[in-house]
Amino acid sequence: MEIILALLLAYWYSVGLLVVFFEYRIRQPDVLVLYESKGQIVLRKSLLYPRHFSLTLKRTTVQIQMTLKRPQPGIWGYGSNSLAPWRHRSNIYNP
């Protein structure tokens, strides 16, 4: 009876270890690990994190190029045309 109990205990211990190894990951140094708690996104700071309940983001720089166009004179109320933009001819909805 003692052998069966020891084998069952060893079985459940090994199953538990497999679940822990399958679910938890070791956080890499250049990765942000985020999770949701009470409707807020929080940064996880521990070394181990559950992979199915966390979002990992690499800490990299991203180039963003923005091009801005200035509005055409007359559309925004300065210049030759003083009409508001929603009353301009090109903005009228025609069914």
Q: What is the pLDDT of residue 24?
A: 87
Cα–Cα distance between 91 and 95 in angstroms, integer? 12
Judged against a pLDDT cut of 90, whether residue 8 lies above it is answered with yes
Specify the pLDDT at position 74: 55
Q: What is the share, in percent, of the chain residues with pLDDT greater than 90?
A: 17
Q: How far apart are CA 48 and CA 2, in angstroms?
A: 35
In the prediction, which pLDDT does 12 show? 96
When computed from its CA atoms, the radius of gyration of the chain, rounded to whole angstroms, is 30
pLDDT in tens, 16-52: 999 888 888 888 888 888 999 888 989 988 888 888 8
Residue 88 CA, distance from chain mean position: 40
Mean residue pLDDT across the chain: 78
DSSP run (H or E) holding 11:
helix 2-23
Structural domain boundaries in the chain: 25-60
